[in-house]
């Protein structure tokens, strides 16, 4: 079965059988589930007792408790022995009827995005690049002075481009405006 998305209100989605696909809204307060017509949620299914289980909804929280049924109540395969809070995606079995609990949409929890570190690595790269540029520049000057100008032209063009780029990087790194303090981000990854 495809994963179900959270509902806006707590809901039980019947999985399979003749009730398959039926959505049962969980009303606020205490509700009894069973075959008896006086139950808040009436379901006819094999193994379902007249008063099978009790659902209690308080705000966005829903608990389930077996109401002394003959066949018991299970959540995710485990028999309940007392009130148990349901969580989105839990599989609830009452008799032969299996339902998936669809909890209300979770409210996003604000989280603080960690402040990114300063550009210390960037500055090290700029300084290393400038040192390399100076060494290459000295090499070009030596080659020009010794008369080996054929190679100097090939080296001088990229050096000029590298020099311009490194000067711009150095300027940007030194004139950077400090980052603002971290702000809470609601939801997923920024």
pLDDT band at 121 (very low <50, low <70, confident <90, very high): low
Burial of 170 (0-12, 13-18, 19+ CB in 10 A): middle
Residues 134 and 55 reside in one and the same domain: no
User: For 66-95, what is each residue's pLDDT tens digit?
Assistant: 999 999 999 999 999 899 999 988 999 998
pLDDT attached to residue 50: 94
How many domains in the chain?
Answer: 2
Residues 128 and 171 reside in one and the same domain: yes
Burial track 103-123 (b if 16+ CB lie within 10 A, e otherwise): bbeeeeeeeeeeeeeeeeeee
Residue 112 has pLDDT above 90, yes or no: no
Residues 32 and 73 reside in one and the same domain: yes
pTM beyond 0.75: the answer is: no
**Of all residues in the chain, what percent carry a pLDDT higher than 70?**
69
pLDDT band at 146 (very low <50, low <70, confident <90, very high): confident
pLDDT attached to residue 150: 62
Residues 96 and 149 reside in one and the same domain: no
Ranked by mean pLDDT, the top range of 19-23, 31-35, 171-175 is 31-35
Residues 20 and 92 reside in one and the same domain: yes
Cα–Cα dist 68/167, whole Å: 80
User: For 42-72, what is each residue's pLDDT tens digit?
Assistant: 988 888 999 999 999 998 899 999 999 999 9
Cα–Cα dist 182/176, whole Å: 17
Residues 143 and 171 reside in one and the same domain: yes
Residues 80 and 128 reside in one and the same domain: no
Residues 84 and 127 reside in one and the same domain: no
Q: Which domain holds residue 160?
A: 119-176
CATH value at residue 57: 2.60.200.20
C-alpha angle 48-54-56 in degrees, rounded to nearest 5: 150
Residues 134 and 56 reside in one and the same domain: no
Residue 182 lies in a domain: no
């Amino acid at each position: 079965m495809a994963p179900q998305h959270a509902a806006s209100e707590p809901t039980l989605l019947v999985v399979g059988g003749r009730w398959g696909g039926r959505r049962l809204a969980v009303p606020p307060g205490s509700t009894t589930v069973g075959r008896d017509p006086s139950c808040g949620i009436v379901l006819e299914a094999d193994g379902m007792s007249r008063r099978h289980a009790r659902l209690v909804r308080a705000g966005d929280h829903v608990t389930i408790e077996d109401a002394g049924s003959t066949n018991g109540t299970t959540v995710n395969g485990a028999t309940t022995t007392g009130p148990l809070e349901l969580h989105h995606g839990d599989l609830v079995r009452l008799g032969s009827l299996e339902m998936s609990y669809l909890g209300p949409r979770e409210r996003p929890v604000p989280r603080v995005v960690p402040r990114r570190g300063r550009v210390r690595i960037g500055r090290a790269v700029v300084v290393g690049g400038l040192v390399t540029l100076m060494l290459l520049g000295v090499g070009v000057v030596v080659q020009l002075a010794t008369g080996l100008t054929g190679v100097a032209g090939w080296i001088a063009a990229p050096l000029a481009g590298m020099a311009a780029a490194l000067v711009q990087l150095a300027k940007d790194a030194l004139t950077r405006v400090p980052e603002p303090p971290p702000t809470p981000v609601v939801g997923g990854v920024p």
